[in-house]
Every structure is written in structure tokens, then in C-alpha cells.
Amino acid sequence: MTSTTRAWYTVALLCAMAVMSYLDRYIIALLADPIIAEFAITTTDVGLLIGLGFGLVYAIAGVPLAHWLDQGQRVRIVAFGVALWSLCTASSGIAPDYPTLLASRVGVAIGEAVLVPATISLIGDLFEPHRRTLPIAVFMGTASLMGSGAFIIGGLAYQFANVLAPDLEMEAWRLTMIMVGIPGLILAPLLLLSVAEPARTVAHQAETEDSSIRAVANHLSAHLRYYLPFFMALGISAIGTFSLISWSSAMLSRSYNMPLAAAGSLYGTAGLLAGILAAIFWPAASAWAQRKHKAYLNMLFMAAGLGAAQLSMALIPWAGSQAVALGSIAVAIFGIAASGTLAVIILQSAAPPLMRARITSLYVLTGNLIGLTVGPPLSAWISENLYSGQDAMRSTFGLLGMVLLPTVFILLLIATSGYRKCLEETV
């Protein structure tokens, strides 16, 4: 294989891992109702599985793991992470109680925390600077699509598990967990056997660059006007993002009396179509900005996308039919994808080469420490305590959208001027 072919093969394999990562991450949300029924727990308890059990650990583990990635053998670390999260997902299918299921989710979180920072770091060494936007967009686009696609695949797996479960004398949700954990145990050794660790190639100005933790802190401090509002916006907007992803299928099932698998498939299909359009539109918009030498427009594009997403969430309580609700969800996912794609491009364009993985890990940290840790349990709590009835989650989406819209938009506008200054210094 040529070097270009090897580079794209590596990206394809990392994308396949991203597919399994998001499937293993969100399968709990799809299976919430049967888990609630078997363990006699609440929606908020399932929110804690997604938030505290996964999101908090995922966010905290990302920073030290990213430091390890900047110094160590990234391919081996990724393979270990994939094997760990896959094994823990499969073991969730035999969890005897809620605490054991929670412990399994902790293992999933630790394993998955390596993938995004490792991928951004590897792409930085596999591609020349002017060729990095496309592979980053492909990987992040895959991740964005799987925010919805996971529910299609998970719904199909759950339907198949329902067929097999009686013969195997096992609950369908448990069999589903085992099934979705197996592919990662194949991908991990495949990565080790077929991908060599690329040489770390850094820009000329980075040849003598200090890459210590103190240097990273100094860089962030020097550009606080960019990083602080930017990371705040990412974290706060992620509350709505992860709430929508985690509870949309449950909302459709409860508000419109749909079977669980059908609700998951419809949500996944609407989100997937919106995600495909977004995966084309947002990278194209970013590439246009780069050609015009106006990279700072990426920040404004992201503000527009997230604004559209949060406005759509605010309107969901007034969706009189499942078709209108699905349309609102689709618009929201299209807007959310701007963050998933453009945030990494924004960070990569301004971060010093030897700090990319750690600064990217801060993106993962803020999004997950605030969004994933807080979002799903908070929205579940609001739906159970501030609202009631089958439309409680729908009303919760509306409340979140109305609060997040002005907050995130203002923060991103503030971050834009600091980002422009950081770009000027990088060039």
C-alpha cells in the first residue's frame, strides 16, 4: 500500500471503531425501559448510567490518557481501549444488578476515552497540514452520524435478540448487550496486526517546542479569551445534545405510543439522514472558509448550527404528531453536527502540534464532564419532577432548548475574537 492508502486505511479502521464506540455508548439509552422494568429503577437511575457511570469517568479519564497518547504508542493504546470497552459492554449483558451494570459502564468509559484524542493525533501525523480537514471531517462525521445510527443498529440488534432470547432463556436486552460488544473484540487485534505506529511529524516551529503540562497550561492561559468561552459553550450545549440523543427514542415511544424498537429505528433514521446532510454541508462550509483564508468563520458556522439545534428543541413540545417531532429532531441533529465536525477543526487549526491530543482531550472533557455527565440525568430528573405524564420528556426538551439557545450563542460570539487572534499567532 502507498502511504496515502495506508493513511486512509487507518482512518477507515478508526471510523469502524467509532461506530462501535457510539453503539456501545448509547445502547443503554435504547434499552432503558426493559432495564427499568427488570431492575425496578427509575428513568433518572438510567440517566446516571449514561451520565455518572459513563460520562463522568469518560471525561476525567480523557486528560491523563491524552498525555499518555502524546508520549506513547498510540496504536497499542487504542487497541487496548477498544478491547476494554467491548469486553465491558458484553459483560453488561450478564450483570446481576444495577451496581454491577454501573461498574461495567465505568469500564466502557475508560476504554472509549482514548479514541478521539488518539485519532486526532494520528491524523496529524498521517496527513500533511493542508490535507487534514477531510480525514478529521470523515471521522467526526462518522461519530456524528452514529449519534443517531447507533439507535438503528441497536434497534435491529434488539429485534434479532427478541427472536433468539426465548431459545437461549435470556432477556432480550441482555443478549443485545452481548451482541454489540463482540465486534470490538475483532477490531482491536486487527488494528494491532495491520497498522504500524506512524512517526511523529511536527511543524518546523514545533521542533524545539515545550510540550510539558506547564507549557499546555501557559498556552491555554495566553489564549483564555478564546478557550474559556469556547469550552464553556461546548459543555453547556452538550447538555442539550446528550439529552436529545439519550431520550429521543424514549420520548417518541412514550408520547406517540410507539414500540421501543420502532421508536429507536425512526429516531435513528431521521437523525442519520440529517447527519449525512450535515457531514457534507459543514465540512464544505469549513473548506470554503479555509479557501477564503477566513478560518474564523468556522466559529460563526458552529454558532449558527447550534442555534438552529436549540431552537428546534425548544419547539418540540408543540409537535402535534410524530412526523413533526421527527422533523424537529432532524433539524436539531443537523445543527448539533456543526459542533461535532467544526470544533475539532477549530482546535486543530490553532493548537501547537505537540499539544493537539491534550487540547482535544479538553474538548472531550468539557463536552462530557458537563454535557454527558449532567445532561441525561438532569433531563430525566426534570421529566420526573417538574413535569408528569407521557409528554414529560417532550416538555423537558423544550425547556432545555429555550435556556441553552441564548447562552451558547453569546459564548461563541465572545470566543470568536480570541480565536482570530490565536490563528494569527499560529500562522
- DSSP H/E element including 410: helix 392-426
Specify burial of residue 320 (Cβ count, 10 A radius: 0-12, 13-18, 19+).
Answer: exposed
Q: What is the pLDDT of residues 221-232, one digit of tens each?
A: 888 889 999 999
* CB atoms closer than 10 angstroms to residue 42: 13
Phi and psi at residue 388, to the nearest 5° = -150, 165
Q: What is the pLDDT of residues 137-185, one digit of tens each?
A: 888 778 877 878 899 999 899 999 999 999 998 999 999 999 999 999 9
Predicted TM-score (pTM) of this structure: 0.78
Report the candidate in 330, 325, 327 with the shortest Cα–Cα distance to residue 391.
Answer: 325
> How far is residue 250's CA from residue 256's CA, in Å, rounded to a whole number?
10
Amino acid letter, 146: M
Phi and psi at residue 223, to the nearest 5° = -120, 40
**pLDDT band at residue 327 under the 50/70/90 scheme:** very high
Q: What is the pLDDT of residues 403-420, one digit of tens each?
A: 999 999 999 999 988 888
- DSSP H/E element including 331: helix 322-350
Instruction: Please report the sign of the dihedral spanned by the C-alpha atoms of residue 295, residue 297, residue 301, residue 303.
Output: positive
Measuring CA to CA, how many Å separate 153 from each of 30, 145, 178, 254, 404?
11, 12, 14, 21, 30
Amino acid letter, 174: R
> What is the distance, to the nearest Å, from the Cα of residue 103 to the centroid of all Cα atoms in its chain?
21
Domain boundaries, the chain: 3-192+213-426
Looking at CATH, the fold of the domain delimited by 3-192+213-426 is given as Growth Hormone; Chain: A; (1.20.1250)
Report the candidate in 106, 100, 86 with the shortest Cα–Cα distance to residue 38.
Answer: 100
Phi and psi at residue 250, to the nearest 5° = -65, -40
